[in-house]
Amino acid sequence: MDPSVTNLLAQVNTLGEEFSSAQGGGSGGEKQRAELRKAVSKLSLALEEPGDVLDRVAFQFLEVASIKIGINLGLFQLLVKSKKPRSLLGLAKETGADPVLLGRILRLLASFGAVEETDDECYAPTTVSKTFVVPKLAACIEHCFTYLSPIWNYLPKYLEETNYQNPSNISNTAFNLVYRTAKPCFQYIMEHHAWKDPFNLSMSGFDEGRASWMDIFPVEQKLSNGVDNNGILFVDVGGGLGHEALALKKRFPKLPGKLILQDLPQTVQDLQLEGVEVMAHDFLTPQTVKGARVYYFRNVLHDWNDDICRTILTETRRAMEPSVSRLLINQWVVPARNATRLMTAMDLNMMSVLSAMERTEKQWYELLESSGLRIKKIWRSDDDVSECLIEAVVKE
């Protein structure tokens, strides 16, 4: 046997025991579960032959397509709400699908664990089925399959046509060529409601399972000093509908100072939030709130190339009071090695639609230094899914 396979088998066995012990001890074992999943995945890859690789890679798109069909038919809803396995004929009757067609789809779904075959032509739900009865998670499939996958399919040709240069023009992307528009992606989405609704819902879906920045950053220790009740504690820049500001208010109600949400006029129009001031603001223009304790950006800067990010950061720095203000950037810091599939896929997605990127630690340091800012610390979660929190100050 290949020594690497032997080592992985031993690792899986050890991690399995650790996971079992952690669950038995009442800690939940989330860290052990994640480590065990990684090891099992490595073992599976190590056992593959070339034919296995081809089978796994070449037909992935059809797996997602079958999930989309299952969502469209309400198939997962029917399986999950039933207390016993459902027959093919019963599912065909309720969905209106031809039994022969539905049987073919269900066989594919069963082959990768989206449903369970409990008997001949008899099916029960799995974790995959239960995932996609949650509206915000089903919206992720709608967003990715319907609207993003045509862009991803065109990406190889786009890169070939641009001589494999790193994209930097927000109006000349694979998205622009596929959708035949000169408008930036976000502007296009906001003008097309068929895409806008699943996009907005899916953004909360992609947060599933991630730690909050308030879990990894000592909020009270860092933010309680340097501001009184009349001062400005927290400015959520480009904060959408204010989820982060409201979460901060709920979790730390006794923190002194005002909370402000900023976003474009069309986003915050008529928006009212208890305990949070709502303000229309374009972060490409001078920051009008001066000397706040914290200027907070969550998943904003990965939407923009370096030049535009420098504009955003410079305008923010000019509003900061060096002795008081902190910049908090809640964003992935892509590791130099062993980056996750989600991080790396999202990086290519941002490139495809916005000529933007997820950044490595080195790239973050270079970007902030070039904007007159200095990173004090990068706060990290124990998992490899949650975003980091970059704490920065005005460079002396």
Residues 6+ apart with CB under 8 A from 84: 124
Give the per-residue pLDDT at 25: 60
CA atoms within 13 A on the CB side of 36: 15
Cβ proximity of 357 and 383 under 8 Å: no
Cβ proximity of 346 and 335 under 8 Å: no
Q: What is the pLDDT along the chain (396 residues), one digit of tens a residue?
A: 788 899 999 999 999 998 888 876 665 678 888 899 999 999 999 999 999 999 999 999 999 999 999 999 999 999 999 989 999 999 999 999 999 999 999 999 999 999 999 999 999 999 999 999 999 999 999 999 999 999 999 999 999 999 999 999 999 999 999 999 999 998 898 888 888 788 877 777 677 778 899 999 999 999 887 778 889 999 999 998 899 999 999 999 999 999 999 999 988 888 999 999 999 999 999 999 999 999 999 999 999 999 999 999 999 999 999 989 999 999 999 999 999 999 999 999 999 999 999 999 999 999 999 999 999 999 999 888 899 999 999 998
Give the per-residue pLDDT at 395: 94
The pair of structure tokens assigned to 37 is 């999943």
Pairing relationship of beta strands 294-298 and 86-87 according to DSSP bridges: unpaired
CA distance 102 to 94: 11
CA atoms within 13 A on the CB side of 135: 5
The pair of structure tokens assigned to 255 is 């923190």
- Which helix (H) or strand (E) segment holds residue 195: the answer is helix 193-205
CA distance 344 to 326: 28
**Alpha carbon of residue 300 to chain centroid:** 12
Residues 6+ apart with CB under 8 A from 358: 302, 331, 332, 334, 343, 344, 346, 347, 350
Residue with tokens 């004929």: 89
Cβ proximity of 186 and 356 under 8 Å: no
- Catalytic residues, by residue number, are 302
Residue with tokens 């990768």: 112
Residues 6+ apart with CB under 8 A from 73: 95, 97, 102
Beta-bridged to residue 392, according to DSSP, are: 327, 375
**Residue 162, SS3?**
coil
The pair of structure tokens assigned to 212 is 């909050």
Q: How many residues does the chain have?
A: 396
Give the per-residue pLDDT at 28: 63
- At residue 53, what are phi and psi to the nearest 5 degrees? -60, -45
The pair of structure tokens assigned to 302 is 């990965």
Alpha helices in 74-173 (DSSP H): 75-81, 88-95, 99-111, 127-131, 135-141, 149-161
Give the per-residue pLDDT at 396: 84
CA dist list (Å): 293 to 89, 246, 256, 326: 62, 17, 11, 6
Cβ proximity of 60 and 44 under 8 Å: no
